[in-house]
Chains A and B, each alone.
Chain A
Amino acid sequence: MNIDVVLKSFNEIFCDVLDDEDIVLTKTTNANDIEDWDSLSHIQLVLAIEKQFDIRFTALEIEEYSNVGEMCEGVLNKKS
């Protein structure tokens, strides 16, 4: 698994959770770039990502991720 695979999976999760098939994530995408990425959907996204990759984040990790790419790296680190 590499970051592009994780990013593609993230994209599917974001489209599903935010109910928007037009979302195209890049590594630099953050909550300011997606209108529906609010505090509630953020929770739903994190839960969906944890479930998809069978991992657990810590609260500190989630707080420190500043964009999608960093979160993808976080997934890769946990799966390696």
Chain B
Amino acid sequence: MIMHEGDVFEGNYVADNMTYESFIKAFNDRNPLHTSLEFAKSKGFDKIVLHGNILNGFLSNFIGEILPIKDVMIISQSIDFHNPFHLNDEIYLKAKLVNLSNAVKTAEFKFVFRNQHSFKLAKGTIIIKLIE
């Protein structure tokens, strides 16, 4: 097994315009919180708030590209959003392998996303199945 309990994995992302535009184009969520600066300001935000589920895209990158093994599939995922993020924020993902089950061939990760100011954006859990 390449991975071990306690292993920590990291990813660095930017919530850039391409990601933002692609997300809107793909999923057609044009809620004004995500598209209208005036609306976002009326709700107390300085900038447009990006879709929280963009972070789930980064998690997909983490599982599919950063992990050292490719024969995996996600079977469970949960995420709690703590703070909003905005266009061109730098986003840092830290994921720790907390449980490697030999019985059912799964790996469980606890993850946290932070922005360039170290504010916690989201945290959660992912369980992947190691495909034989």
Which A residues form the contact surface with B (CB < 8 A)? 40, 42-44, 46-47, 50-51, 56-59, 61-62
Contacts and interface: CB of A to CB of B under 8 A. Distances in A.
A72 to B, nearest CB: 15
A33 to B, nearest CB: 20
A47 B106 contact: yes
B76 A56 contact: no
Interface residues of B, number: 12
Interface SS of A by simple majority: helix
B75 A47 contact: no
B26 interface: no
B75 A40 contact: yes
Contacts of A56: 101-103
A5 B102 CA distance: 25
